[in-house]
Amino acid sequence: MATCGEVLVKLLEAYGVEQVFGIPGVHTVELYRGLAGSRINHVTPRHEQGAGFMADGYARTSGKPGVCFIITGPGMTNITTAMGQAYADSIPMLVISSVQSRSQLGGGRGKLHELPNQGALVAGVAAFSHTLMSAAELPGVLARAFALFQAGRPRPVHIEIPLDVLVENADALLASLPVSIARPGASPAAIEQMSQRLAHAKRPLILAGGGAIEAAPALQKLAERLCAPVALTINAKGMLPSDHPLLIGSTQSLVATRALVAEADVVLAIGTELAETDYDVTFAGGFEIPGALLRIDIDPDQTVRNYPPTLALVADASLAAQALLSSLAQVPSRETGWGTERVSRLKARLETEWDAPTRAQTHFLQAVFDVLPDAVCVGDSTQPVYTGNLTFNPGQPRRWFNSSTGYGTLGYALPAAIGAWLGRRAEGSGGGPVLCLIGDGGLQFTLAELASAVEARTPIIVLLWNNQGYGEIKKYMLNRAIEPVGVDIYTPDFIGVAKALGCTAQAVDGEAQLRAALASAADRKGPSVIEIDELRWQQSLGL
């Protein structure tokens, strides 16, 4: 007899799932009955929040949903922060949990791991939550989840399976087949209207977000045809080559870039929320789009949020960009005066405005990527990440992402980097270099996941930026004339802790040591920790 838990694993395999993150517990062991004999790899984090962050990082580099097996009760409360980060950034994540037997749901009898209503708990961080009331429902609810991942705005999905349903006979479901859903194409009428606007624009500009990553080739050609400057959100970095003359970067929070956006007579926003953390990380307001706004998004609701459009189109970003490009094929290529010359002037101005800490952190990032040019950098909420969001532009998509925007959690980068390395291996790049860029405060949130990295044999490189506490929050308090409280935290001997957990670890002083440490770490089979003291780094540069 095949149980519901065993059939679940077979169906996940059929949907192409190759990786699961979870911590086995007394209420989830039935999910593991079929796992050992499957092709699915399992990684055990040290906390369910780590499982969620690993799934998030895996999804971002592989393009496939990250899948978690999570125990009822504390497992679900632990993973909700990770689900919140994935929800904010539209990351596909499938969380499969156990729950009390059907006759005991919501009973309040003090059962082990009991919650009154898990579905209600995760309602704000999931596209939907479904309780499987019989094994027969399994193929249908999985089809709903993967339809969302394949053809909608991807966000976490939660499926909970009662303990008695997990062991239910599911032989009849063994022949179930996965469902494949095509993404929605672009309305010809809407494309024609948008094409006319863009063709007659004198100063067009493109704002692209993480929802448009797959549209990168078509979007680059579209920008070149229109000679339109391109501004990217943090999650869209790499959609244009870093040296492209039309690339503004991700500097929309700066006055000079906002002025350029305000000059545009037609703005094409594709796959972006146009949200605060995309364009207003200073929380000061002031990002305006006075020109005609054309919005393309997979989510109908999103096309009218934050900034009302002149025209809107609900469609897959890649299909829409290709359709626009085809529609504009007969339009003569525009002269370079508006686009490339304006972008060049903007970049030159910004170069003169960076302060000393920004220059020091940019120099740090340049040294890192000189040594490891093909690396993926998974960032936390820490100062070099904030700087990189402004000054660093990777050459390809899915190479730079972090938790400093959107939901904005701490402790994300370490477990997400583990998942990202596994995701790179899954998408065929061989699991190339993956960096975790994290501060000393953030690392203490998920420090134990270093042991997970050792156990999973993921050779991530942890770049620990140590400023002895919550440096950015301390600066924020001082700027607001608030006496700092709670920010000068105790920082342990990270090198000793990392070695005790099985990592190779060292502190570096200056660029030469950093480059040598990175080169050595890239050749290892296991994780490495490289600690950089912020003050000593600045002093080494004469700042």
Q: Quote the CA–CA distance of 154 and 86 in Å, as a whole number.
A: 9
Burial of 306 (0-12, 13-18, 19+ CB in 10 A): middle
* pLDDT for the residue numbered 139: 96
Whether 399 and 525 map to the same domain: the answer is yes
Q: What is the pLDDT of residues 275-307, one digit of tens each?
A: 887 776 666 678 899 999 999 999 999 999 999
318 domain-assigned = yes
Query: Residue 511: helix, strand or coil by DSSP?
Result: helix
231 domain-assigned = yes
Name residue 373's amino acid: P
Single out the residue in 110, 142, 173 at which a domain terminates: 173
Which residues fall within 8 angstroms of residue 264, CB to CB, at 6 or more apart? 201, 203, 204, 205, 229, 289, 291
Whether 407 and 443 map to the same domain: the answer is yes
Handedness of CA 144, 145, 148, 151 (dihedral sign): negative
Q: What is the pLDDT of residues 43-80, one digit of tens each?
A: 999 999 999 999 999 999 999 999 999 999 999 999 99
* Sheet containing strand 157-162, strands side by side: 41-43, 19-22, 66-70, 93-99, 157-162, 128-131
- The pair of structure tokens assigned to 19 is 């990786």
Which residues fall within 8 angstroms of residue 126, CB to CB, at 6 or more apart? 83, 87, 95, 155, 156, 157, 158
- Where would I find the H helices in 201-300? 216-226, 255-263, 276-279
Cβ atoms of residues 99 and 131 within 8 Å: yes
Q: Quote the CA–CA distance of 330 and 226 in Å, as a whole number.
A: 12
182 domain-assigned = no
Q: Specify the CATH number for the domain of residue 412.
A: 3.40.50.970
**HSE, side-chain direction, 13 A CA sphere, residue 79:** 36
Q: Quote the CA–CA distance of 255 and 350 in Å, as a whole number.
A: 10
* pLDDT for the residue numbered 223: 96
DSSP 484-496: --S-S-----HHH
Whether 227 and 287 map to the same domain: the answer is yes
pLDDT beneath 50: ranges in the chain:
none
* pLDDT for the residue numbered 279: 74
Run of H or E including 473? helix 471-479
Cβ atoms of residues 154 and 147 within 8 Å: no
Q: What phi and psi, each to the nearest 5 degrees, are found at residue 142?
A: -65, -40
Whether 140 and 200 map to the same domain: the answer is no
List the domain range (segments joined by +) for residue 457.
354-540
Whether 218 and 342 map to the same domain: the answer is yes
- Where would I find the H helices in 48-112? 48-62, 74-88
Cβ atoms of residues 510 and 540 within 8 Å: yes
Single out the residue in 142, 173, 204 at which a domain terminates: 173
pTM (two decimals): 0.95
- The pair of structure tokens assigned to 98 is 């156990």
Whether 299 and 161 map to the same domain: the answer is no
Q: Which stretches does DSSP call E strand in 452-527?
A: 461-466, 504-508
Whether 207 and 268 map to the same domain: the answer is yes
Cβ atoms of residues 265 and 197 within 8 Å: no
| Domain total in the chain | 3
- The pair of structure tokens assigned to 219 is 């979007």
* pLDDT for the residue numbered 387: 94
Single out the residue in 173, 206, 224 at which a domain terminates: 173
Whether 368 and 281 map to the same domain: the answer is no
End-to-end distance of the chain based on CA atoms, in angstroms? Answer: 70
